[in-house]
Structure 1
Amino acid sequence: MARQELARFLRDRRTALRPEALGLPASGPRRTPGLRREEVAGLAHMSVDYYVRLEQARGPRPSHTILDALAGALRLTSAERRHLFRLAGTSAPPPATGAVRHVRPHVARMLQRLPETGAIVTDASYGVIAWNPLAQALLGGGLGHGTTNLARRRFLGEGRMYESSSTEEFGHIVVARLRRAADRYPHDPQLAALLTELHAGSEEFRLLWETRPVHAPGHRAKTVEHPTAGSLRLNCDVLLVPEDDQEVVMITADPGTPSARTLRTLATRV
């Protein structure tokens, strides 16, 4: 592994990127041109400390998953991606041709061990590919058909979309993730068809797409108006399945609150 050369390559590519081109705020003083280290780390879904160590030639050999995440965050071309892997002392696997649309058995089993937590797994194009009973009670019976796509729900009104305090923010989250997916899987026909459908059917989606939003998974709190359970104050936490480019969304309520009691009641009915 060529640590010094890898560090220099990462610094060069980071400083060559324009924040506004990635949907990041360009305001405020910047000591150097390009992106900040914490911005690259956020785009690559890794800790800032880990990325800093790579740029300082102090880090361990990064895994294929980390290298692919860095290639996406730094918007590397195919040739640059191969060079990045060579500097890390490994050969670059071919880029994935399409989003992984099946869930690993251990992830599916984890969902079933969370009786008072709603949990779903989404693929890179926001298709819901796994869920547990409480999630179905919270998000609507359409999940049971296995064809739910949260991007279609949000922008095209397909299926049940409850009123939520985070509806506007979720639109930005959806577009940011779909843009990442389009960069990673340019030859995925299902993703291409989805993007064509969203562009044709939603002016809001078209306008957001042009802003190139960037959003990192994490914790979100929101209020959801459920048609039978009423107003629920919920926490949404996202766990990554990086090897498959999937996200596990965990839906909970603060202990001891009316929303927690309502979730417990919903869980006994499913």
Structure 2
Amino acid sequence: MADRSALAEFLRTRRNRLRPSDVGLPDGLNRRAAGLRRQEVAQLAGISVDYYIRMEQARGAKPSRQVLSALARALMLTVDEREYMFRLAGEHPPISGGPNRTVPQSVRILLDTLGSPAYVVDATYEILAWNRCAKPFIGDLDDHPDHERNMVRWMFLQAGDHPQWSDESTRRFARSTVADLRAAYARYPGNPALARLVTELLGTAPRFADMWNSHDVEVRRGHNKSIDHPDLGLLEFECQVLHVSDTDQRIIVYCATPGTRTAAVFRALATESRPSQ
């Protein structure tokens, strides 16, 4: 249900936070306030000044989705702000076309400075970036095409009698991953890459099909993990999931308890990964 008063107040605050130079307009002189003028917002959005003024006064007709999208661009709204504005106007937020695959530079810097294995996945669980500490766990993916970097595909194309499925924590992790993938499937309806992945696994992985058909939905959170690595031995750690704002990407970090053997292994991997001074 629309809340015109809240929408009007929101538009005023977003307009007042912008300077003309932020949107490519000259600052000019004789401005009583730093924000944009109403006519400037209307010009940027391609709507009439009178129509926009009525919106800020909580009057007039309900804005269309096209008008709301134009205002989101004109006011340089973030993804969260755009969704909030649509809901204030009584509309469902627009659906994104597909998972964002562009890893922010700041996230790449963070990966390189972490002293633990870490990597970035998108909403389809394709690994987009990783640090050198993670290579003993996910391999060296530089020479692999994108479709061979998908964690869900790796997991469910293992044979049904593979030893991994005898571990309850692995099965719990798999169920959580499928539930999270189903949530992404709803966020990006009709996305070709996501549809291909789900269709492929439904036809080739009975265990995936069983979990998918349970219709569980959840957003992935951290979990404890124990693995017997062929080169590094038994390792126990928390697999923590950090969400990257405005991207629908996650940083997955292996966090070991200080003072444990696993922490020492991770520390050694980090030391080997750093160039000598």
TM-score by length of 1: 0.64
- Structure 1 match to 2:211: 208
- Equivalent position SS for 1:243: coil
Cα distance in 2 between the residues matched to 1:109 and 1:162: 36
Task: Point out where structure 1 has 5 or more consecutive residues left out of the alignment.
Answer: 7-62, 71-80
Q: Do the aligned partners of 2:3 and 2:88 also contact (CA within 8 Å) in 1? A: no
Structure 2 counterparts to residues 207-246 of structure 1, below 5 A: 207-246=210-249
Q: Do the aligned partners of 1:65 and 1:242 also contact (CA within 8 Å) in 2? A: no
Shift of 1:157: 3.0
Cα distance in 2 between the residues matched to 1:187 and 1:214: 18
Q: Choose from 255, 258, 261 the match for 1:255.
A: 258
- Structure 1 match to 2:109: 109
Give percent identity, aligned residues only: 34
Structure 2 counterparts to residues 73-88 of structure 1, below 5 A: 84-87=87-90
Rg larger for: 2
The residue type paired with residue 97 of structure 2 is T
Task: Point out where structure 2 has 5 or more consecutive residues left out of the alignment.
Answer: 8-77
RMSD: 3.1
Shift of 1:191: 1.0
Cα distance in 2 between the residues matched to 1:231 and 1:95: 43
Cα distance in 2 between the residues matched to 1:248 and 1:176: 18
Moved over 4 A (4+): 3-6, 161-165
Q: 1:250 to 1:206 in 2, by over 3 A?
A: same
- Structure 2 match to 1:138: 137
Q: 1:223 to 1:150 in 2, by over 3 A?
A: same
Q: Choose from 186, 194, 198 the match for 1:195.
A: 198
Q: 1:225 to 1:144 in 2, by over 3 A?
A: farther
- Structure 1 match to 2:185: 182
TM-score by length of 2: 0.62
Q: Deviation digits for residues 22-72 of structure 1, max 9, x if unmatched? A: xxxxxxxxxxxxxxxxxxxxxxxxxxxxxxxxxxxxxxxxx743885x9xx
- Structure 2 match to 1:48: none
Shift of 1:112: 0.7
1:153 matches 2:154: yes
Q: Do the aligned partners of 1:172 and 1:215 also contact (CA within 8 Å) in 2? A: no
- Structure 1 match to 2:123: 124
Give the aligned length.
Answer: 197
Shift of 1:117: 1.1
